[in-house]
Amino acid sequence: MLIYPDEMALIKAHPYFAHIENDADIKWFLQCMDAKLETVPEGSVLCTKDEKTEFVPVVLKGETDVPVPNFGLWPQIESESGLSHSIIALVPPVTVTTTAESMVIWMRVMRLLKPCNHHCDFHEYFVQNLQ
C-alpha cells in the first residue's frame, strides 16, 4: 500500500497508533492487516448495526454521524470449525455514516485482534490502544 507523507501523519496522529512511531512498522502492520486506505464521500455507511463485518473502519480524517465505537465493544463471531479460536468477524453495535468526505483505513478483523506468530510490539500496542 502506498502511503503519502500527509496520510502517514494522519495515521500517526490517530490514538490507535499511539507508541507506533516508525513509518516502516506502520507500513508492515497495515500490510499484515490487509489494510485499505480509502477516501469515502459524505453519506457513506461505514458499518451497519448488527451486520457482521470482516473489515473494520478507522476514521483518520472527516466526520461521522456517531463515533465509530471501540472495537472491543463489538460482538465477536468466532470460527465455526472448532479447531481455531480465531475471530473471523465483528458485529457493530451501531450504524455509522459519514457526514463529510472522510479518509478511512479498513483493517481485516481476524488479523487485527489476534496477533500473528511474529508478536510484533507495534501490533501489541495497537491492540492495547483499542481498550
Question: Tens digits of per-residue pLDDT, 59-103?
Answer: 999 999 999 998 888 998 887 766 555 778 999 999 999 999 999
Question: Which architecture characterizes domain 5-80+89-129 according to CATH?
Answer: Sandwich (2.60)
Please say whether the beta carbons of 130 and 24 come within 8 A. Answer: no
pTM confidence score: 0.87
pLDDT at position 107 over 80: yes
Domain ranges of the chain: 5-80+89-129
